[in-house]
C-alpha cells in the first residue's frame, strides 16, 4: 500500500480518493504529522506551500514524486529531486480562472474603496465616511498586463466585459496572439506609463525581480492601481509603500509578498514595514496568497496532481513534469 504525504488542505474529494488508495499523512490541522516523522516511508507528496529542500528529498528513500498542487515550483529543490530520481509535476491551468477573477475582486475593492467603507461602517461612522468614499469606475480605464500567459489572457477577457482597453507587455508573445483577446502589445515602458490599472502576471526571474520599483512607479500615471497575484519578488514593497503615501499610486493590492521567498507559511514578519502599514493605509490590500484558492480550482488542481501521482507510482512518466528522471536514478 503506498504512503502519501499532503502538506496543506486540499479538496475533500481528492483527499478521500487518497485515503482509498493508500496511507495518508497530513502535514496540517490539529493532528498534523511533520514530514520528518514519515519521510522514511512516503512514496508520493502532494505539495502546496511547504518547502521541499534537498535535505527532505535525500532523506526519503521511497519517494517517487512531488506533485505540486499549483504551477509554481519555488518551494521545491528541483535539482535535488532530479538527482534522487524523484519526479516534480505541476497542475497548469487549474487555478487560472480563479486568479483572474481575484484580480478583479481586488481592482473593484480598491476602485470602490471597500476596505475603508467596511472599516468605517464597523466603527459606527456611516454618515461621516460616506461623503469621502467616492470611488471610480473601471469602465474606460486602461488595464495593463505585465506577462501574458493563461491567467493574463483570462484577465483580458474579463476586462473586455468591463469596457477596459487592455495593453500587454511580454517579450515572449507575438502581437497577433495578444490581438485575439482584444488587447495590444506594447513595450514595457509604454505599459507602465499608459495604464490605469497594472496587473502583474510574470514569472520571478533575475530579470523580473523588483521590476516594479521606485523608478517604475515614478513613470506611472498619478493614481495608478497596482495588483500583484503572481510572485511577491516582482515588487519592491518599500517603493510601493512610498508610492501609496505620496499619492503616485492610487492603490495597491498584493496577494503575494516578497517574504514568501523566505517563509511561504507566514511571510508578513519578513515584510515588517508593509505589515506595519496594513492598518494605516486604506488604499492597501493584502490577501494571504488566496487568488488561486476556490472550490473549483482546488478540485481541478488536486485531480491533476493525483493523476500525476498515479502515473509515477505505476512506473510511467507523469504528465506536466518539470524535470526528467532517468530509469537508473
- Express each pLDDT in 260-293 by its tens digit: 877 777 898 888 999 998 888 999 999 999 999 9
Q: Look at residue 252 and tell me if it is in a domain.
A: yes
Q: What CA–CA distances, in Å, run from 53 to 66, 75, 200?
A: 11, 8, 28
Decide if 265 contacts 241 (C-beta within 8 A): no
Residues 102 and 247 in one domain: yes
User: Rounded CA gap, 193 and 144, in Å?
Assistant: 10
Q: Which residues are catalytic?
A: 231, 260, 289
Q: Look at residue 318 and tell me if it is in a domain.
A: no
For position 302, which CATH number holds?
A: 3.40.50.720
Residues 160 and 276 in one domain: yes
Write out the residue range of the structural domain in which residue 72 sits: 3-94+295-313
- 253: cell is 493590492
Element (H, E) at 146: strand 143-146
Residues 280 and 132 in one domain: yes
Residues 195 and 258 in one domain: yes
Residues 90 and 174 in one domain: no
Q: Look at residue 328 and tell me if it is in a domain.
A: no
Residues 80 and 100 in one domain: no
Q: Look at residue 301 and tell me if it is in a domain.
A: yes
Q: Look at residue 80 and tell me if it is in a domain.
A: yes
pTM score, whole prediction: 0.91
Residues 68 and 106 in one domain: no
Q: Look at residue 326 and tell me if it is in a domain.
A: no
* Res 42: pLDDT: 98
- Express each pLDDT in 4-42 by its tens digit: 999 999 999 999 999 999 999 999 999 999 999 999 999
**Overall number of domains in the chain:** 2
Residues 303 and 206 in one domain: no
- Please give the order of strands across the beta sheet that includes 65-68: 23-26, 3-6, 44-47, 65-68, 87-89
- Express each pLDDT in 164-218 by its tens digit: 999 999 999 999 999 999 999 999 999 999 999 999 999 999 999 999 999 999 9
Q: In whole numbers, what is the pLDDT of the chain averaged over residues? A: 95
Q: What CA–CA distances, in Å, run from 304 to 16, 28, 67, 98?
A: 15, 21, 9, 16
Amino acid at each position: 500500500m503506498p504512503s502519501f504525504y499532503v502538506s496543506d488542505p486540499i479538496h475533500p474529494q481528492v483527499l478521500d480518493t487518497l485515503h482509498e488508495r493508500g496511507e495518508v499523512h497530513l502535514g496540517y490541522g490539529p493532528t498534523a504529522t511533520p514530514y520528518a516523522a514519515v519521510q522514511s516511508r512516503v512514496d508520493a507528496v502532494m505539495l502546496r506551500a511547504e518547502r521541499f529542500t534537498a535535505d527532505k528529498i535525500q532523506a526519503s528513500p521511497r519517494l517517487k514524486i512531488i506533485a505540486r498542487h499549483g504551477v509554481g515550483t519555488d518551494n521545491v529543490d528541483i535539482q535535488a529531486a532530479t538527482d534522487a530520481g524523484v519526479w516534480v509535476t505541476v497542475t497548469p491551468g487549474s487555478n487560472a480562472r480563479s486568479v483572474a477573477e481575484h484580480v478583479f475582486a481586488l481592482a473593484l475593492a480598491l476602485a470602490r474603496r471597500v476596505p475603508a467603507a467596511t472599516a468605517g461602517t464597523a466603527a459606527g461612522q456611516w454618515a461621516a465616511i460616506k461623503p469621502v468614499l467616492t470611488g471610480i469606475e473601471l469602465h474606460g480605464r486602461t488595464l495593463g498586463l505585465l506577462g501574458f500567459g493563461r491567467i493574463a489572457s483570462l484577465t483580458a477577457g474579463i476586462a473586455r466585459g468591463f469596457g477596459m482597453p487592455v495593453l500587454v507587455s511580454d517579450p515572449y508573445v507575438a502581437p497577433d496572439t495578444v490581438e485575439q483577446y482584444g488587447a495590444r502589445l506594447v513595450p514595457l515602458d509604454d505599459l507602465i506609463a499608459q495604464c490605469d490599472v497594472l496587473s502583474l502576471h510574470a514569472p520571478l526571474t533575475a530579470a523580473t525581480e523588483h521590476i516594479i520599483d521606485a523608478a517604475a512607479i515614478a513613470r506611472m500615471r498619478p493614481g495608478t492601481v497596482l495588483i500583484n497575484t503572481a510572485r511577491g519578488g516582482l515588487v519592491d514593497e518599500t517603493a510601493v509603500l512610498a508610492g501609496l503615501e505620496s499619492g503616485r499610486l492610487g492603490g495597491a493590492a498584493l496577494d503575494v509578498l516578497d517574504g514568501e521567498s523566505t517563509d511561504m507559511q507566514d511571510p508578513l514578519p519578513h515584510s515588517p514595514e508593509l505589515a506595519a502599514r496594513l492598518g494605516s493605509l486604506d488604499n492597501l490590500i493584502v490577501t494571504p496568497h488566496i487568488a488561486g484558492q476556490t472550490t473549483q480550482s482546488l478540485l481541478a488542481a488536486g485531480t491533476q496532481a493525483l493523476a500525476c501521482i498515479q502515473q509515477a507510482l505505476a512506473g510511467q512518466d507523469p504528465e506536466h513534469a518539470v524535470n526528467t528522471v532517468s530509469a537508473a536514478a
